[in-house]
Amino acid sequence: MRDLMTDRIEQWKAQGFDPNNCPVRMVLDHVAAKWTSLILLELEKEPQRFNALGRALPDISKRMLTQSLRDLERDGMVRRKVYDTKPPSVEYSLTDVGQSFMAPFSQLLDWAEKNQRHILAARSGYDKL
Amino acid sequence: MRDLMTDRIEQWKAQGFDPNNCPVRMVLDHVAAKWTSLILLELEKEPQRFNALGRALPDISKRMLTQSLRDLERDGMVRRKVYDTKPPSVEYSLTDVGQSFMAPFSQLLDWAEKNQRHILAARSGYDKL
DNA sequence: CAGACGCAGTCTCTAAGTGAGACCTATATA
DNA sequence: TATATAGGTCTCACTTAGAGACTGCGTCTG
């Protein structure tokens, strides 16, 4: 793809197009992050602590849980509150922005449920070839 | 996370929970695939051929373009039509299911545009620490 | 007529990202 | 004393993604 594309990209950049600063991709990166939306979904039910999230999402590693939470915090979707108990406990919750994300996101999930069978059917049809 | 979690997962699986057969995750995997939704977005404008898509999404490699298109085809979101011209041309277009995905997806993009500034602001605030 | 170019990919090599799980500091419990 | 909880960090191995060379065939350019 780097054929004669390179100078075209240069052109786009000159015109102000930057793939790394594109609103579409910016959100997509979150939804695309595999875990972040699952975490958001958990936090919408109720604010939760680190290990509680780990239990709710059993197949995420601590490493990725930490990283995903940091990403969400960085983008202002999730709030991290440390309570100075012993041992200290950390509660994660949705911010208003994070909360507002849930509306369009749940539409997507509705679509998912409606079309699940179609997709599964298409998939097994394709795999039979 | 594999601490005392393992048997809990076994339990869930016994109850019929399978992370690999969860409708939420199934769609998420698509949206999550980084390129697929961008491709869908391009194909919504108009059916396009392989290299045209490559040009429209300049930072995707041919390798990933092929793979993403195959995934979308497999799930019945995209149709692949080969025209027996010389050289053969291949046109990709949205199926009805693929088309129906665009409604909830565009809601997400609306959200993205509305909240872009917030996110960017939160991000640079966070990074200053 | 030779060489470059477009089509739609595939293949290989390397770089980056992810997952599993050991480890850390501190307190409370058995 | 040993173990469990909390919220993580660190390392190592493995998987995935990206860059770009290569293919085969037909057309366009010099």
> Do A66 and A80 form a contact (C-beta atoms < 8 A)?
no
Percent of chain A with pLDDT over 70: 82
In the predicted structure, residue B8 carries a pLDDT above the cut 70: no
Distance from CA of B88 to the nearest CA of A (A): 19
- Asked if residue A62 keeps its beta carbon closer than 7 A to nucleic acid strand C, the reply is yes
Cross-chain Cβ contact B97/A104 below 8 Å: no
Nearest of B79, B60, B70 to residue B30 by alpha carbon: B70
Nearest of B79, B92, B99, B98 to residue B50 by alpha carbon: B92
> Do A88 and A73 form a contact (C-beta atoms < 8 A)?
no
The distance from CA A24 to its chain's CA centroid, rounded to whole angstroms, is: 13
We find that the CATH architecture of domain A33-128 is Orthogonal Bundle (1.10)
> Do A85 and B85 form a contact (C-beta atoms < 8 A)?
no
Per DSSP, helices labelled H in A46-95 are 50-56, 62-74
Q: Give B39: exposed, middle or buried? Use CB within 10 Å, 0-12, 13-18, 19+.
A: buried
The token pair that represents B64 in the structure block: 């990933």
Tell whether A110 is within 8 A of chain B (Cβ).
Answer: yes
The token pair that represents B47 in the structure block: 């059916």
The model's pLDDT over B30-73, given as tens digits with 9 standing for 90+, comes to 777 888 999 999 999 999 999 999 999 988 999 999 999 999 99
Supply the pLDDT for residue A17: 58
Q: Which of residues 46-105 of A touch B (CB under 8 A)?
A: 54-55, 58-62, 65, 73-77, 97, 100-101, 103-105
**B34 vs B124, which has greater pLDDT?**
B124
Q: What are the sequence ranges of the domains in chain B? A: 33-128
Supply the pLDDT for residue A8: 42
Compute the mean pLDDT over every residue in chain A, rounded to the nearest whole number: 84
